[in-house]
Amino acid sequence: MDQQTSATLRADARRNREQIIEAARTMFLRKGPDVPMDEIARAAGVGVGTLYRRFPDRSELIKAVSQDNLRRMAELAGRLERDEPDPAVALDALLHAIRDLYLGIVMTSVSAVAVQAIKDNPVIQEQRDELLGVVSRLLRRCQEQGSIRPDIDGGDLLLMLAAVSRLVPAADDDLGEMAFHRLFALMMDAFRPERASPLPGRPVDYQDVEHLRQHGGLAGFGRIAPNDP
Amino acid sequence: MDQQTSATLRADARRNREQIIEAARTMFLRKGPDVPMDEIARAAGVGVGTLYRRFPDRSELIKAVSQDNLRRMAELAGRLERDEPDPAVALDALLHAIRDLYLGIVMTSVSAVAVQAIKDNPVIQEQRDELLGVVSRLLRRCQEQGSIRPDIDGGDLLLMLAAVSRLVPAADDDLGEMAFHRLFALMMDAFRPERASPLPGRPVDYQDVEHLRQHGGLAGFGRIAPNDP
DNA sequence: GTTATCCGGAGGATTTTCTTCCGCTTAACG
DNA sequence: CGTTAAGCGGAAGAAAATCCTCCGGATAAC
């Protein structure tokens, strides 16, 4: 059912499908995972009927958004690692892409439905591993060259991104846009190595993040779909 | 109606009232402003009836929580400014108090209902101004003594706190607790001067935050009560 | 120009959340 | 202790929010 997605679809239908995913990506970030379907449809400029025709239920939509996010990121990550010799520049570019696309890293790494969607699809799963792998390697190289503090791991980065991502700006608010960019930049400075003060606890890795997701250890984490186990 | 709050109340009733406020404080942070009243009641270990008897509707509860938050913080802020000569130590202590109490700075500074509640009560309003004043002064002194980067304002601090506060840990999860403390520390490091790279935009002040709240310029900001104007 | 595909959104069905109400408990006080 | 006024819990009816189907009309494709 998901295969003829882009193939046998009429032009307007394909356009609408993309608009829906785009709108859902932002709305999930802005209002949370149980934002009403009507609102998503309105934001996408289509009727609810169209939304339901393309995505029979909420979890299908979440799956689609997650996979789309992941595909974009994996693509970019691969390209950057291949073409950009300086890991600091590459990591910077990757994080900026997350910001500019409101990519909701939370969703692709953290939602149970999204995780299920990923497991269901070997290609996507490979993309996920690839993406996390690239981030890990870039991070390590940055730490080796001294451009990122040594006392953090990928999970720390992920959690910080998740926190800041929650404050995605409204579409038409310049001040919000400015504040969001600024907050993001401020966050990135937190990872710089100069005179880093000792952090409590220990570096948080991807496995920790997975544990937090599964056990609801942090509010706003996991349970991206209302009826997640 | 709010005056005999602590006065003419039977001992068990007063205890319950406090438990409700405590539970609501955390639940608002964990689940957002429209968390069902039943959940708050359950978390407080009381029946819904008790909750409604004490707080006739949601906005009364939000008001009570906000005022309670503000009272605690203003008290601590005043004490710190008076007794602690080093502004860096004082500011640090203030921020740690916010963390330890899950104080929901968001709510006290940012919700329309909370803002209304504050305007309704001159004493509380004075406490609010006092608190923001203390933070401003401490911040300025820290910047003068070189312990905080000079290119930020109070609003930047507030927004960062709001972002990180959203990831309040679950009650019984050690990993979540650790990650939360760590994230908080990481955030504070972002404000140190040694690693300051040029930030985009301009310093965000309290007035900007107020504007963002009123116009919904940042997701998750403002509209703490479902029917906020 | 024809037709298969797609669209929008009104509105009934369903789920979630609110709020009241009353019989049972308990703190307060002599 | 015993009395009593204050307080409690939570079942259940009311209200609100959300879901999702359905079909007359529009439009891309050829």
Q: What pLDDT, in 10s, does the model give residues A127-165?
A: 888 999 999 999 999 999 999 999 999 999 999 998 888
pLDDT, mean of residues A50-67: 91
DSSP assignment letter at A45:
T
Q: pLDDT at position B206, please? A: 92
Question: By mean pLDDT, which of A87-91, A108-112, B95-99, B221-225 is the weakest?
Answer: B221-225
User: B59-88 pLDDT, tens per residue?
Assistant: 899 889 888 988 999 999 999 999 999 999
How high does pLDDT run on average in chain B?
A: 86
The pTM for the full model equals: 0.88
Contact B76, B98 (CB under 8 A): no
What confidence category does residue B146 fall into, taking pLDDT thresholds of 50, 70 and 90? Answer: very high
Question: By mean pLDDT, which of A52-66, A114-128, B100-114, B166-180 is the weakest?
Answer: B100-114
What confidence category does residue B188 fall into, taking pLDDT thresholds of 50, 70 and 90? Answer: very high
Contact A132, A140 (CB under 8 A): no
User: A201-223 pLDDT, tens per residue?
Assistant: 999 999 998 888 877 778 765 44
**Which residues of chain A (68-97) touch nucleic strand D at CB < 7 A?**
none
Compute the CA torsion angle B41, B44, B47, B51 (nearest 10 deg). -60
> How many percent of chain B have pLDDT more than 70?
88
Q: pLDDT at position B217, please? A: 77
Q: pLDDT at position B216, please? A: 74
CB-based contact B219 A170, cutoff 8 Å = yes
Is residue B12 pLDDT above 50, yes or no? yes
Q: Which amino acid belongs to residue B206?
A: Y
> How many percent of chain A have pLDDT more than 90?
54
Asked if strand D contacts B43 at the CB level, meaning under 7 A, the answer is: no
- Higher-pLDDT residue of A127, B150: B150
Distance, in Å, from the CA atom of B194 to the CA atom of B203, rounded to the nearest integer, reads: 18
B210/chain A closest Cα distance in angstroms: 11
Q: Using only C-alpha atoms, what is the Rg of chain B?
A: 18
Output the distance from B16 CA to C24 C1' rounded to whole Å.
18
What confidence category does residue A51 fall into, taking pLDDT thresholds of 50, 70 and 90? Answer: very high
**Which residues of chain B (167-226) touch nucleic strand D at CB < 7 A?**
226
Is residue B34 pLDDT above 60, yes or no? yes
Q: How many CB pairs lie under 8 A apart between chains A and B? A: 175
Strand-pair partners of B169: A218
Find chain B residues with C-beta within 8 A of A191's C-beta: 186
Is residue B205 pLDDT above 60, yes or no? yes
Q: pLDDT at position B165, please? A: 83
Residue B197: which of A32, A189, A200 has the nearest Cβ? A189
CB-based contact B219 A31, cutoff 8 Å = yes
Which residues 178-197 of B are in CB contact (within 8 Å) with A? 178-183, 185-192, 194-197
User: B44-57 pLDDT, tens per residue?
Assistant: 999 999 999 999 98
B173 touches chain A (CB under 8 A): yes
**Strand D nucleotides where any atom sits below 7 Å of a protein CB:** 6-12, 17-23, 27-29
What confidence category does residue B227 fall into, taking pLDDT thresholds of 50, 70 and 90? Answer: very low
Closest residue by Cα to the C1' atom of nucleotide C7?
A50
Question: What contacts B204, CB < 8 A, 6 or more positions away?
Answer: A178, A179, A182, B152, B153, B154, B155, B156, B158, B159
Nearest nucleotide (C1') to the CA of residue B45? D9
Nearest to A100 by CA among A155, A162, A26: A26
